[in-house]
Amino acid sequence: MTSAETRTDNRAAPLPEQVGATYDKFGPLFSLILGDSAIHVGSWADPADHGERTSATSLPELANQAMTRQTDRYIGLLRPRAGQRVLDIGCGTGGPAVRLARSSGAQVTGITVSGCQATTATELALSTGLHGQVSFDHGDAMQLPYSADSFDAALAIDSLCHMNDRPRALREAYRVLRPGGLLLLTEFTASGSPSREQLDTYHAVWATGPLLSPGEVLEMAEQVGFIAERMENDTHNASMTGELMRLLYHDRHDAVLSHFGQETTAQIDALMPALCAFTHDHLGHYIFLLSKPRASRSTPPGSSNGAGSL
C-alpha cells in the first residue's frame, strides 16, 4: 500500500473477504436506502434533458431514476459499441451491466467479491433474457481471472475504495484492457472537517479503505500507465444521495426491522445519523475517464505476467 493511501486517515483497508461479507449481509439494506436498480451515487439532474422530466410517485422510484440516470451518464462517457467486451469491476447486483449490454449491444462481464451479489446479478441477466450477453463472476478485482488485452472498456463504479491494494487493482484493470481501451473510474474523497465518529461509521458500513484526494487517484492511475482523459467533480450528487438515504431509511424502517431483526436494526439505527450526515456534508465524489495508451505494452510497470486466480 502506498503512503498516499495511508496519509488521509489511519486505518487498515479491508480484505476482499471482509468486503464480500459486508455486501452479503447488508446488501438488502443498501437496496432499501439507495434503490434497487444500482448501488452507487445517483444523478439528480440531467443537463441534457432540455426541461423534460419523468415524474416519480414515491421515494424509491425517485431513487431508482437517479441511479439509472447516473448509469446512463457513465455509459455515455464510456461509449461502448456492439460487439465490444466490457468489464464491470465491482458489478454489484448487476443493474448497470445489464443496462449497458441492452443499450449498446456489448458483451459485458461483471465481477464482485460478494457471492450473494454474483447470484443476484446472474438471476437478473436470466430474467431479462440477456444471460448470453452478460455474465457475472465471483472473484477478486485485484486478481482478475481474465487474459491480458481481453476487454475493450471497463467500469469501476464506486469499487476502488474497497480495494486494500488500489495500485494493484488498477494494474489488473490496465492488464486486461486492450491498447486504446477506456476505464471509467469513480472514487470518494473527504471534504471539510468530518468528525471521527462520522469517518469511522462511513468506513465500517461501507467496508472501505482510506479516502484519497482526486490528485492522489490521478497520480496512482498515471503511475500504472493510464492517461487521464477527463475528471468531473460529482460531489453535489453524493450530497443529495446522503439526504435520500436518510429519508428512505426512515420510510422503510419497518422493512429493515423485518429483514434484520431488532438487535441488528438497533445497531443500524445508531449508525445511520452519522453515516447520512457524513455523506451529505463531507463525502466528495469524482468521476475519472482513463485510457490505456494505444502503443502501450499489455503489462503495466511493476506487475507480473498472466491472469490472477480466484
| CA-wise closest residue to 36 among 113, 117, 136 | 117
Reading phi first (left if > 0) and then psi (alpha if -120 to 50, else beta), residue 192 is in left
Nearest-Å Rg of the Cα atoms of the chain is 18
* pLDDT tens-digit map of 71-108: 999 999 999 999 999 999 999 999 999 999 999 999 99
Q: pLDDT at position 299, please?
A: 60
- The residue whose grid cell reads 482513463 is 290
- What gap in Å lies between CA 160 and CA 113, rounded to an integer? 12
- What gap in Å lies between CA 188 and CA 244, rounded to an integer? 18
Q: pLDDT at position 275, please?
A: 95
| CB burial of residue 292 (10 Å; 0-12, 13-18, 19+) | buried
Q: pLDDT-derived band of residue 3, with 50, 70 and 90 as boundaries?
A: very low
Looking at residue 73, its amino acid is R
Q: pLDDT at position 12, please?
A: 77
Q: pLDDT at position 306, please?
A: 43
Stretch among 147-161, 168-182, 222-236, 287-301 having the lowest mean pLDDT: 287-301
Q: pLDDT-derived band of residue 48, with 50, 70 and 90 as boundaries?
A: low
CA distances from 140 to 53, 148, 171, 310 (A): 39, 16, 13, 6
